[in-house]
């Protein structure tokens, strides 16, 4: 297996990936709170970590991936109240929609997709243990984590407790022993959903769910914990504190965090209201465009999102799709498999090596365009072997790692093809008779409805845009 390095937030450096169990990787990705349709800010970690997981599998690892749904939380309660429906109805609805968007993006489902509300018993037990160990205390109907008792607090987000106090934006509360303490269990207010617990009716705090579900599904110590970098503090810091306090293990050995998507300088966020829904973007630009747009930037850098950028990306993706389609037509439908040449293996190595250094997807995706050009050249040269080789480098190597270019040829319907054949023949006759006025008229009219005519030396072709 090739050496893979990734940047680890905790140590602040690139580290070689060494799994706890050789050949196996267990990873936990923080999923969304499901109170709305997902936007492309939510989609970035989905795209990145789905690809990373596929890359690990491509590299020979057996991967167990967990991504949770937070299905109980203030925002869900608010949404439910505003629509006058139950929280369950809200979370079920948006989980459903989440899967639709995932599928549109060609994102594989994780091995486990746990929901917080299914783990309340485990959460209660976890909290009880923390209380027994002195890391948590009850105050009224709430339970809090005693931050100062955990001496590693702040390690992950690289900050120290004293700095945080001087910031003094932390609310002072007389029910907490210390302003830094955070809630493990929240007392239920009037009209809120609740579960029975040793501390009365209430619900889990935000951070505890991930500690519990990761432990239940992956064990007390696992390999990779991932999510957006806005979760580093407080969410991941708190998760880590709870888990290490209770189990004494390292919890997660590697912390991966993706950068934010910004819109003209601001972070894309539901609370600011500058969001782009995944399904809107896909409808307008297609899944491959969105994915390559995301993957052509390094996952830790911020991305500035704008339509011009997507527009440019779409053009590049259309060109690739065009060449794949041409390759299929070149072989009359199906591109035959060919024995991997030395060159093919060399290219595979290049892709693998690029992705093995802190998952450098921009370097790998750049290859798509090189291969696309090679396909076009090979078609011109009638080099069957090369056409097939570069076709499969895109489709089966890069495509399988990133979930790209799954379907190329379904843009044409059967009847459309028949009609177009007639139109094409008509134009050929017209052109033979030098009736360019009429043949151009047909071409222009078709162009207006999005059918592009191309008169090539070998005959007339068309594309539906």
Minimum CB separation of residue 23 from RNA in Å reads 27
Site for RNA (CB under 7 A): which residue of 151, 174, 190, 308? 308
Site for RNA (CB under 7 A): which residue of 58, 150, 233, 285? 233
Q: Which helix (H) or strand (E) holds 185?
A: strand 182-187
Of 283 and 315, which has the nearer Cβ to RNA? 315
277 forms part of the interface with RNA (CB under 7 A): no
Of 93 and 300, which has the nearer Cβ to RNA? 300
51 forms part of the interface with RNA (CB under 7 A): no
Cα 291 to Cα 46: distance, rounded to the nearest angstrom: 10
**Exposed, middle or buried: residue 433 (CB in 10 Å: 0-12, 13-18, 19+)?**
exposed
**Exposed, middle or buried: residue 355 (CB in 10 Å: 0-12, 13-18, 19+)?**
buried
312 forms part of the interface with RNA (CB under 7 A): yes
448 forms part of the interface with RNA (CB under 7 A): no
Long-range contacts of 22-26 (CB under 8 A, 24+ apart): 23/60, 23/61, 23/62, 24/61, 24/62, 24/63, 24/64, 25/56, 25/61, 25/62, 25/63, 25/64, 25/223, 25/224, 26/63, 26/64, 26/66, 26/218, 26/219, 26/222, 26/223, 26/224
Pick out residues in 166-185 that bind RNA (CB under 7 A): 166-167, 169-170
415 forms part of the interface with RNA (CB under 7 A): no
Distance from the first to the final alpha carbon of the chain: 42
Minimum CB separation of residue 254 from RNA in Å reads 16
**Exposed, middle or buried: residue 373 (CB in 10 Å: 0-12, 13-18, 19+)?**
middle
Pick out residues in 379-398 that bind RNA (CB under 7 A): 380
Site for RNA (CB under 7 A): which residue of 33, 102, 197, 211? 33
309 forms part of the interface with RNA (CB under 7 A): yes
Angle of helix 307-330 relative to helix 384-392, nearest 10 degrees?
140
Minimum CB separation of residue 216 from RNA in Å reads 20
15 forms part of the interface with RNA (CB under 7 A): no
Cα 369 to Cα 320: distance, rounded to the nearest angstrom: 7
Minimum CB separation of residue 22 from RNA in Å reads 27
Of 157 and 211, which has the nearer Cβ to RNA? 157
Site for RNA (CB under 7 A): which residue of 51, 187, 215, 258? 258
Pick out residues in 339-378 that bind RNA (CB under 7 A): 357-358, 360, 362-363, 366, 369-370, 372-373, 376-377
Minimum CB separation of residue 182 from RNA in Å reads 7
């Amino acid at each position: 297996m090739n050496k893979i390095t990734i940047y680890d937030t905790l140590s602040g450096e690139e580290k070689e990936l060494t799994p706890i169990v050789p050949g196996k990787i267990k990873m936990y990705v923080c999923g969304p709170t499901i109170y709305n349709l997902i936007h492309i800010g939510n989609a970035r970690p989905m795209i990145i970590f789905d690809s990373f997981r596929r890359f690990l599998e491509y590299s020979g690892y057996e991967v167990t991936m967990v991504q949770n749904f937070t299905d109980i939380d203030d925002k869900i309660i608010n949404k439910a109240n505003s629509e006058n429906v139950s929280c369950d109805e809200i979370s079920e609805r948006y989980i459903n929609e989440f899967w639709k968007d995932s599928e549109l993006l060609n994102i594989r489902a994780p091995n486990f997709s746990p929901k917080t509300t299914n783990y309340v018993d485990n959460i209660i037990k976890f909290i009880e243990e923390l209380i027994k160990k002195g890391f948590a205390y009850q105050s009224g109907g709430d339970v809090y984590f005693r931050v100062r008792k955990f001496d590693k607090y702040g390690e992950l987000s690289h900050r120290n407790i004293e700095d945080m106090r001087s910031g003094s934006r932390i609310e002072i509360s007389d029910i907490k022993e210390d302003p830094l303490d955070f809630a493990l269990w929240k007392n239920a207010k009037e009209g809120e959903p609740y579960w029975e617990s040793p501390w009365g009716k209430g619900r889990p705090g935000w951070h505890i769910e991930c500690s519990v579900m990761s432990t239940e599904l992956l064990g007390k110590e696992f390999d990779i914990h991932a999510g957006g970098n806005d979760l580093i503090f407080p969410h991941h810091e708190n998760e880590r504190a709870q888990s290490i306090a209770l189990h004494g293990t390292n919890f997660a050995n590697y912390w991966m965090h993706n950068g934010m998507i910004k819109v003209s300088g601001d972070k894309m966020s539901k609370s600011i209201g500058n969001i782009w829904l995944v399904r809107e973007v896909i409808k307008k630009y297609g899944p491959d465009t969105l994915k390559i747009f995301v993957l052509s930037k390094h996952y830790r850098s911020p991305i500035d999102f704008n339509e011009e950028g997507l527009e440019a990306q779409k053009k590049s993706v259309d060109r690739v799709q065009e060449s794949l389609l041409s390759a299929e037509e070149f072989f009359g439908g199906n591109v035959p498999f060919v024995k991997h040449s030395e060159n093919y293996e060399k290219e595979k190595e290049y892709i693998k090596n690029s992705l093995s250094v802190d998952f450098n997807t921009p370097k790998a995706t750049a290859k798509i365009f090189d291969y696309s050009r090679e396909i076009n050249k090979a078609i011109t040269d009638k080099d069957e072997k090369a056409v097939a080789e570069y076709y499969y480098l895109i489709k089966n190597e890069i495509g399988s790692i990133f979930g790209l270019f799954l379907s190329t040829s379904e843009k044409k319907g059967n009847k459309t093809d028949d009609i177009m054949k007639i139109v094409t023949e008509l134009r050929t006759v017209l052109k033979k008779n030098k009736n360019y006025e009429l043949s151009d008229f047909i071409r222009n009219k078709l162009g207006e409805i999005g059918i592009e005519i191309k008169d090539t030396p070998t005959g007339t072709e068309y594309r539906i845009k």
